[in-house]
Structure 1
Amino acid sequence: MDLAETATRTEASPAQALPVAAAAGIEAWHVASPVVPMVALAFTFEGGAAQDPEGKAGCAQMLARLLDEGAGDLDSDAFQERLAARAIELSFHAGPDAVGGSLKTLVKHADEAVELLALALAKPRFDASAIERVRAQVVAGLRYQQNDPGVMASRRFFREAFSGHPYGRPSSGTVESVSAITRDDLVAMHARIVGRGAVKVAAVGAIEAEALAAALDRAFGALPEAGTLTPVPRVEVGAIGRREVVDLDVPQSVIRFGMAGIPWRDPDFIPAYVLNHVLGGGSFTSRLFQEVREKRGLAYSVGTSLVSHRSAAMIWGYTATKNERVGEAMAVIAEEVNRLVADGPSDEELQKAKDYLTGSYALGFDTSTKIAHQLVQIAFEGLGMDYITRRNAMVSAVTQADIRRAAERTLGDGRMLAVAAGRPTGF
């Protein structure tokens, strides 16, 4: 069946995601929508930067950047010209635990888009000229970042928090590690990660399930089952209570801080998510924003988020302030953390947090591409597609007792690892 002839009469809704039975045995989800004659596809393979070879951090990111730099009988220029001629958007990315990508195309060009995706995944060329060009771009970026306090603070934080662990290595690598990556390293990593048995896929748009199943077989069916990944051991945030300085001659220090977290699949993740919104995740309404920025004018931005990797979780925070006010800013942050552990949020704070988190959830599904990526993430985490319909009810059900339990598991005694890049005083 030609994909250009397929369409349905259903509005796009993530709650309507249905499994697709592709012959290649791929786990795939489908949301049909005829509103715009387009198809958005998102996919993710298990295994990312944590699988980088020893001494060659940045290999997974190099792999992702090279997948569309020529494939099959098409060199880099020819491949990109084919994409541009049909306005096909194809991109790849790599994170700590996965290599993924996305495809967006008009339905009338979907067959050609699927053909190019299949080539990029199954037959990347890894031409020497493309490798050296991408390597030069990466190295230039890394050298530029050596004077970026935000990047340097983040790198030092992860190195201290996960010392000796794959998560402690910079995902983008270093000048030395990227320079050491060979074509054989890229080919080997591709063979281990890019396989049909390790992929999750979601598609949204004007395409019927039968046509999508055939397209998935063409896109992913030629892939091998995938190789064996190196186990990534579970790890907790280390160096808790320590403060580290990255010396940079800048007038303002950039600060990164963190403590224990709760992974997405843990029953206490939702209470921790609500707790984080009260502490620093709620932008203008969070305690840290009100105390650090609004009341004292210590920083332009301050906040926290929950980080959930396959083998680690943490609450991760950020701010930036004048060197001479770093000590004061950190004291305010510590005070708010301790106050939240001791007293919890007020009933009004808790209700406002739940109202915002339930009311804003739909904003993450306002385009076909966003829906596809959200569905793939839910599949990757193994939460079940009914998570979309269950999630708001779980948020609404969070009680003060749940918040206290989550606070004990995450904020604990208030100690944290903190890194400041700059020349802070009182830190």
Structure 2
Amino acid sequence: MSGTGFSLPIQVVEGGGLTAWLAEDHSVPVVSITWSWPGGAALDPRGQEGAARLAANLMTEGAGELDATAFADALQDEAIGLDFSADRDSFQGGFRALVPALPQAVRLARLAMTAPRFEPDAVARERARALAMVRRSLEGPQGRGARAFWAAGFPDHPAGRPTGGTEESLAALTVEQLRAALARHLRRAPGLLISASGAITADELAALLPALFGALPEGKVEDPPPLPEFRHFGTQVVPVASPQSAILFGQPGIPVNDPAWETAQLVLRILAGGGFTARLTHSIREERGLTYGIGAGLEVIFGQSVLAGSCATANARVGETLTVLRAEWKRMAESGPTAAEIEEAVAFLTGNQPLQFTDSRRTAAILLAMRRNGRPLDWLARRPERLAAITREQAAKVAARLLAPAGLSVTVAGQPEGL
């Protein structure tokens, strides 16, 4: 990899009619495999919000001949990490295991996908946990603000609904509805994306794939409704009794396959990325002490993205914070980044890349994200040269296109002053 000395050879492995991407590495005797289906919470019927996530949580609460305790003991005895999850637009599974424990990891993952038990006590326990999480998220400004922000941005699309469900929907979900949520996803169909990393060869992975997924039914996963553009809604206030207000802001992003994707990431690194050199951090935190932290980035959903960010500040300083935020947003849109800022951001993004691959689980997750985003095999290898080729003129054009100050939508949850 140019300029970093880092490379990640990726192999395409086929077995049992399935395809996986593999980053083979035998330096540590650990294997991570992760997979996903499209859909996720977007396929939850109206009134059944949270079904996919609750069903995912129940998959490791007993399966086949193993009740919840026996299943947990089987995982613990072999130090296997197995989990399933659902987010806005996908349903995911994965495990991490030592090489000698791979057969057991495959057996338990297959059981979880093909024969989850949904025992009454496990359902009650996981339902109570989900309800507690929903209630806790709505106790403070951040959770209340986030729910209102996404609902306003996508009022007529599942992306605007709470992924984890509501108190009403979670309380009403039946076991039949939870099983149906799994049936909507767990298929051997096209759309099942698989990636692996660690101490496993291509031949070994090819043999493992049908053992892991071969018992799943055939059939295509239902397509979620197409994502509309994030709707501009101006500024909305969600009253919450709190000494601080949570501020969430955003506007439409760009598709993940847009040629300007990495230039947009570079611009946002300079404007709102991590570290104290970002313009928003410098102006809002360092110069004025208005917030402890602020950041924004492109949140990928349904192959598109939303440019979303957040911060928190004292109620009395909300108006000042938003004034500075909008001014910096406008300055970047009108003038773009400087050559020095671009050079520093390119150096950081290029030098930081190898640090994203410090363990097999993270590597497998990155490969899966590449597949979901339609990236080619050499995407990572060529990234440093693509970043180095970005000019100030290109960055300025993308900043002007991406950052429409008049199109910035803001949700403030708290008791704000100065609006």
Taking structure 1 as the reference length, the TM-score comes to 0.93
CA distance in 1, matches of 2:181, 2:368: 22
Q: 1:271 touches 1:406 (CA, 8 Å); kept in 2?
A: yes
Alignment counterpart, residue 17 of structure 1, candidates 10, 34, 42: 10
Q: 2:334 touches 2:400 (CA, 8 Å); kept in 1?
A: no
CA distance in 2, matches of 1:237, 1:52: 20
Amino acid across the alignment from 1:20: V
- Give the 3-state SS of the residue equivalent to 2:171 in structure 1: helix
Residue 251 of structure 1 corresponds to which residue in structure 2?
Answer: 243
* Cα distance, 1:405 vs structure 2: 2.8
Q: 1:263 touches 1:309 (CA, 8 Å); kept in 2?
A: no
Query: Cα distance 1:59–1:278, how it changes in 2: closer, same or farther (>3 A)?
Result: same
Q: Quick check: 139-148 or 221-230, which moved more?
A: 221-230
Q: 1:17 touches 1:29 (CA, 8 Å); kept in 2?
A: yes
Cα deviation digits, residues 127-155 of structure 1 (max 9, x gap): 23222211111112212222121111111
Q: 2:61 touches 2:67 (CA, 8 Å); kept in 1?
A: yes
Amino acid across the alignment from 1:91: D
Aligned-CA RMSD value: 1.5
* Cα distance, 1:227 vs structure 2: 4.3
Residue 236 of structure 1 corresponds to which residue in structure 2?
Answer: 229
Residue 349 in 1 paired to residue 341 in 2? yes
Residue 10 of structure 1 corresponds to which residue in structure 2?
Answer: none
Alignment counterpart, residue 50 of structure 1, candidates 42, 45, 54: 42
* Cα distance, 1:311 vs structure 2: 5.2
Alignment counterpart, residue 162 of structure 1, candidates 146, 151, 154: 154
* Cα distance, 1:117 vs structure 2: 0.8
Q: Quick check: 321-330 or 381-390, which moved more?
A: 381-390
Structure 2 unaligned regions, length at least 5 = 1-5
CA distance in 2, matches of 1:101, 1:273: 28
Residue 73 of structure 2 corresponds to which residue in structure 1?
Answer: 81
Q: 1:324 touches 1:425 (CA, 8 Å); kept in 2?
A: yes
Residue 280 in 1 paired to residue 272 in 2? yes
CA distance in 1, matches of 2:224, 2:366: 26
Residue 411 of structure 1 corresponds to which residue in structure 2?
Answer: 403
CA distance in 2, matches of 1:154, 1:35: 42
* Cα distance, 1:415 vs structure 2: 3.1
- Give the 3-state SS of the residue equivalent to 2:407 in structure 1: coil
Residue 197 of structure 2 corresponds to which residue in structure 1?
Answer: 204
Cα deviation digits, residues 355-391 of structure 1 (max 9, x gap): 1111111111111111111001101111122111122
Query: Cα distance 1:322–1:413, how it changes in 2: closer, same or farther (>3 A)?
Result: closer
Structure 1 unaligned regions, length at least 5 = 1-12
Amino acid across the alignment from 1:256: L
CA distance in 2, matches of 1:282, 1:83: 37
CA distance in 2, matches of 1:99, 1:255: 29
Q: How many residues align?
A: 413
Taking structure 2 as the reference length, the TM-score comes to 0.95
Residue 218 in 1 paired to residue 214 in 2? no
Alignment counterpart, residue 312 of structure 2, candidates 310, 320, 339: 320
* Cα distance, 1:393 vs structure 2: 1.8
Q: Quick check: 414-423 or 252-261, which moved more?
A: 414-423
Matching of residues 311-390 of structure 1 within 5 Å:
312-390=304-382
Cα deviation digits, residues 54-78 of structure 1 (max 9, x gap): 1111111112101111111212111
Amino acid across the alignment from 1:167: A
Residue 398 of structure 1 corresponds to which residue in structure 2?
Answer: 390
CA distance in 1, matches of 2:289, 2:221: 51
